[in-house]
Each structure stands twice: as structure tokens, then as C-alpha cells.
Amino acid sequence: MPMMRTAAVAWALSLALTAGALAQSAAPDAVIQSPPREPQAVSAQAGSAAAAAPATAASPAADTAPVDAAATLADTPTTAPDSPVQQQAGSQEQPTSPPQGTEALATAIRLAFESAGTSNNTPPLPKSAIETEQRLALEAYYRANSFAPLWMGEAGPTPKAHALAAAIADAAAYGLDPGLIPVPDLNDANATDLAERAKLEISLSMAALTYARHARGGRIPEPAEMLNSNLDRKPQLHDTKVVMQKLALASETDIAAALAALQPVHPQFELLRQAFLKETGGDGRGKLSATAKRLRANMEFWRWMWDDLGELYVFNNIPEFMQRVVLNGEVVRSDRIVVGETGKQSSVFSRPLKEVVLRPRWRVPESIMVHELWPSLRKGGGLMRAYGLEITTKNGDQPRDWRNIDWRQDDIRNYHVWQPPGGKSVLGFVKFSFPSQHTIFMHDTPDKWMFNRGQRTLSHGCLRVRNPMELTEIVLRYDRGWDEAKIKQLIRSGPLDNNVEMQKHIPIHLAYFTAWADKAGKVRFFNDVYGHEKRVTQALDGDWAKINKGRDHLAKPQPRFKRNEVAAGEGGLVPAASNGRRTKKPASVADMISNALGF
């Protein structure tokens, strides 16, 4: 609501501006939050997107591909936009003059912006905060260019305008819904009416910007709020000013390619799109099959991914239970991972790796403290005693003896609970930390048997890594230049809880793809273990009321017992077989704590 009020005030102020003030105003410069990179081009022509050649992938998560001429029309999106349209006021860019012969139309366009919503002959007012911000940015672009038309001429819509309308009508070939992108009927345009042409000019530009927004996930602007709190992603939206500049430079024959270049740059997106076209008969239209909807949902997941995944990055695909490490577009490691249980999910997000911790100590998450350890402490503290857990105060980390605390009166959330490094450690010998609000990291584990399971949803949310020594060597060789001997020496006899801060940018991606295509275009599907694919499908179908958002995993955990209950008897450990999973019997103390705590 604050964004809506702010945008509404801004729009009201824009209506109050006089013609003289508008003519002297400078256009705000666009805020570009990520460095420009040469984008991957997608070949396409209006009305025939199905003819686009499939991209080839150098790796399952590579982010580079050959670039053709259309790439010059591509835009660079922000990596984590705070709002649908990023504009910065205060620049001193001077407006240009409209081309000769279009001055009257430019004046009509200016007046149309001023009088929006006042009559049937003027453009309608925006219907949402997103559209309002988009419209304000569009007005700023036109003002900077003296309201020169892009789509209208003295005789009405230009061939370039018709090419734009045709390319937008072909949006279904990219998994988009043309029905959600209003395009005016150009065939009924009144060529002699300046106000009508001005209205069409603005409407066409708004349609192009809506296409650009939808191409980068704008149909679901807040996945964490609208679908599930674990979907910590943002649409990778293009900057309005840059989109308009590229469209202005495009010729009539380039418009379709310019719109295609707004789609995600990843080869995997194009491979899935080709499969989607094949499944839908070549155009993406009509009633979609279940398979087509699965492919469409996974294309949508790609609209939320950063363009630049990193020079070296770790790509964890949760539904596949697999980790791939990619260096310069080539997969240098591929191995199994264990992810969170369906009730204690691994969140979907990307963050840079902050540190590698050798011989780590484990700070127990608050959810485990409240739901597992506190009940055990009220019954005698079996978990604490058996697994060497320690308690410290929150201010200053002063050690406390848990045996001398009345846990029927005191609250475990007043403390930190730790497990020191050693043979009992549930973290094994290494932890990979990439801080977020989700308190999730990757780590070694003594429970090697878990990697033999088919569906490896067995943790409290953190990712357990098979063969972690290989991952450690790749990361520390890249970041510090350390060799295998040095790393093994530090693991064997180096400092305890040894935090090795990263000096280079190494993104860690926790991704959620239930469909993955190989280089030949053959698609493998994985179970929708957390239901995110279903939620995205329901959103894209417009079935918002059917979406089950699930619980808010960021809400503070609350005890499941009454504080005034009298604890009776020891029994903190829950047998592994009673937690609803069929698992082999734990073979060690580490196995027991991992199963009891679900870590």
C-alpha cells in the first residue's frame, strides 16, 4: 500500500505540471544495478516464434551463449529490483527535439499524458501501483525526447507499430498470455485525429513495457508473498528507459527480435521453450496439456534467475536433489545433496558465499531449540547430555550449565545452543555459509546412508553435501589458491571453527526446477516435492484463490506445550521410525542426533 500511495501522489503531481514545465524537465536516468553483460540473443520473427532455433547449452546451468545481431537489442535487467520500475530523479539529461513534421503529434502526446483518464479520447489511468510506476517512467522517457512518437506517423500507425502488435500477439510462443497485454486495434485508428493517434502511441508503448515486464516474471511480482514464503525470488525486470531506447533503435524488421531479446538469456530457458512449442503444436496457443503447463511453470522459474549466475557458482536443484558446480560455463562437479523435509523446506534463493568454515561448531537453529531441545530439557535433557550440546547467553556468549536452569520457568530462546566440533558434530568437517533470513547453509554430514535414498527430503532445511572435500577444494583453490595438501592439513589439525572468508564472488543458488532439458532437447521431469510448480501453474492460470501458500516459515517458532505443564519422565529422543519416514536404523550417535533433530 505505501508504494501505491507514493505512486498515486507522483501521478497526481505529474498531471498538475504545466506544458512549460514539462518542456523544460529532464528525464530521470535509469538505475542499473548490475553491470552490463553481452546478452544471449533469441532469434524470432513476428508471427513465427516457433521457428526460433534452439539454443545449445555448454552446461546445465550455463549463462552464456553465442550472440547474433539481435543481441544488440537486448536489455540488462537488475539482479534484485526493489520495485517494478527503477528510476532515479535528478539527472540533467536535456530533451531532444521531435523530428520535423511530428511537432503537432508530439504536442498531442504531451497533452495525452497530462489529461490521462479524463475522457474516452485519452489513455486510461493506471490500474495498479506497478502500472503507475511504469507509466511515470514512460512519461519521463517521452519528456526527455520531446514527446517524439515511436509508433505513429502523419498517416496513422506506422509499419513498425503493426510489427510491434504482431510480435506481442505471438507472446504465447514464449509461455506468456497475450490476453494480459492490452494492444489497441490499429486497423480502426482514425488517422486524422491527433488525440486518437496520441492515445494509440502511449497505449502501444505501455503494451511493449507490459510485455517486457511479463518476460521477466512480472505476472507474479512478489513470489514470497503471493505463493509461498520459501520462494525468495524477485522478477528480474528490465529498466523502462533502456527498453524504450532499444525499441526506438529497432527497425520494423527488428521489432520481433527486440522483444525476443527481453526473455531470459539462459540456454535452459530456450531449450524448455522449444519443448513447450513442440508440446503445443508450434505456437503455444490453445488449451495447454499438463506437460505443457509443467514446461511453462519452469520457464517462469527462469524469469526469476539472475542473468549472470557467476564465473564460478554452485547450483543446487532441490527437486532433483543434485548439486552442480560450474566454472566458466563448464560443469566441474556434479553430486547428490540432501534437502529439507516437505514440512521443513529448503528455501529457494541466491546469495554469495561468505565463508567456508573448517572444523565448524554448530549453532542450533531456533526452530530446533523450541520444538526439539526444549521439550527434552523439560524431561531431563537427554539430547543435551548424549550429544555434548552446550548453552551460552545471547549477550556475550557466556557459558551456562543447562543442568542448573529450571526449564519449566526459563525460556530456551534466551540462549544459544551449540554443538562443538568433533566426532559427534552433525556438520562434519566443513560448512559453507551464505547468510540469509532463512538460516540455511551447506555442510558435510556423518549420515552417508541418506545419499542412497531416492527422494532425499531428509533435513531441517540445510543442504547436506556428498563428497564435500571435492567442493571445498574447488572453492578454496579458486578463492585462495590453496592446494589439496594445505586444505587437508587444516582439516586434520588446523584451528577449530576456522572461518575462511571469501575474497571472490561465488554465488550459491538454491533453485527449484522440476523440468530440465539436455543439449539435445530431451526433458527430464522431477517430482514437485514442495508444490511450488503447482502454485506457479495456478497463478499463471489465474486460479489465485486455489493457491495454498502454506505456513510462513519465517514466523517465530512457538512451543507446542503449555508453559505451566509439569514435565514427567525422560524421553527427549524420538525413535527414527516414529517420525513418518522409513529410514535405516542409525548406526552412530551422529546418526541419532541427526534423525532426532531432522538436521
Domains (range + CATH), the chain: 2-303 (no CATH), 312-533+550-597 (2.40.440.10)
Contact 106, 19 (CB under 8 A): no
Mean pLDDT of 459-465: 95
Mean pLDDT of 383-398: 85
Express each pLDDT in 475-504 by its tens digit.
999 999 999 999 999 999 999 999 999 999
d(Cα 377, Cα 369) in Å, to the nearest integer? 10
Q: Using the 8-state DSSP alphabet, how is residue 393 labeled? A: E
pLDDT above 70: percentage of residues in the chain: 75
Angle 233-308-137 from CA coordinates, rounded to 5°: 65
Residues 6+ apart with CB under 8 A from 81: 33, 234, 235, 236, 237
* Cell 555442510, located at residue: 443
So what's the pLDDT on residue 279?
97
Higher-confidence position of 72 and 312 = 312
Contact 29, 91 (CB under 8 A): yes
d(Cα 434, Cα 351) in Å, to the nearest integer? 6
C-alpha cell read off for 223 = 513470489
Contact 205, 147 (CB under 8 A): no
Residues 6+ apart with CB under 8 A from 366: 413, 556, 557
Express each pLDDT in 159-188 by its tens digit.
999 999 999 999 999 999 999 999 999 988
What's the 3-state SS for 104-144? Answer: HHHHHHHHHHHCCCCCCCCCCCCCCHHHHHHHHHHHHHHHH
So what's the pLDDT on residue 128?
79
Higher-confidence position of 556 and 321 = 321
* Chain centroid, CA 479 distance in Å: 25
Express each pLDDT in 214-253 by its tens digit.
999 999 999 999 999 999 999 999 999 999 999 999 999 9
Residues 6+ apart with CB under 8 A from 127: none
Express each pLDDT in 411-454 by its tens digit.
999 999 988 888 778 899 999 999 999 999 999 998 999 999 99
Q: Is the pLDDT of residue 30 over 60?
A: no
Mean pLDDT of 317-332: 98
Express each pLDDT in 118-166 by its tens digit.
666 666 766 778 888 999 999 999 999 999 999 999 889 999 999 999 9
In Å, how far are 190, 372, 380, 395, 398 from 405, measured between CA atoms? 83, 17, 11, 17, 14
Q: How confident is the model at residue 65 (pLDDT cuts 50, 70, 90)?
A: very low
The total number of residues shown for the chain amounts to 599
SS3 458: strand
Instruction: Give me the chain's average pLDDT, please.
Output: 81
Express each pLDDT in 351-372 by its tens digit.
999 999 999 988 888 888 998 8
* Cell 567456508, located at residue: 356
Mean pLDDT of 403-407: 92
d(Cα 373, Cα 596) in Å, to the nearest integer? 10
So what's the pLDDT on residue 465?
98
Mean pLDDT of 334-362: 96
d(Cα 196, Cα 321) in Å, to the nearest integer? 56
So what's the pLDDT on residue 99?
67
List the end-to-end C-alpha distance of the chain, in Å, as a whole number.
39
Complete DSSP assignment for 6-20: HHHHHHHHHHH--HH
SS3 96: coil
C-alpha cell read off for 506 = 561465488
Whole-angstrom Cα Rg for the chain: 28
d(Cα 409, Cα 41) in Å, to the nearest integer? 64
Residues 6+ apart with CB under 8 A from 71: 38, 39, 40, 41, 261
Number of Cβ within 10 Å of residue 343's Cβ equals 12
d(Cα 83, Cα 308) in Å, to the nearest integer? 20
d(Cα 47, Cα 169) in Å, to the nearest integer? 8
So what's the pLDDT on residue 118?
61
